[in-house]
Amino acid sequence: MIITHLEVGIPNANYFSRLFKANCGVSPTKFRSLQL
């Protein structure tokens, strides 16, 4: 998670999680588990 938010240019992991959930409908953790 830490690497991901930095790779997309968002310095705060919590902010990244909120944006991700707002756009994708699920948390980054849930999204990752669904992709496996």
Q: Quote the pLDDT of residue 33.
A: 92
Distance separating alpha carbons of residues 18 and 16, to the nearest angstrom: 5
- Residue by residue, what is the 3-state secondary structure of 1-36? CHHHHHHCCCCCHHHHHHHHHHHHCCCHHHHHHHHC
Q: To which residue do tokens 């999204």 refer?
A: 31
Report the number of distinct structural domains present in the chain: 1
Q: Quote the pLDDT of residue 18.
A: 94
Q: Domain residues for 19?
A: 2-35
Residues 1-36 have pLDDT tens digits of: 556 766 777 888 899 899 999 999 999 999 989 986
Q: Quote the pLDDT of residue 3.
A: 65
Distance separating alpha carbons of residues 15 and 35, to the nearest angstrom: 22
Q: Quote the pLDDT of residue 30.
A: 94
Distance separating alpha carbons of residues 25 and 6, to the nearest angstrom: 21
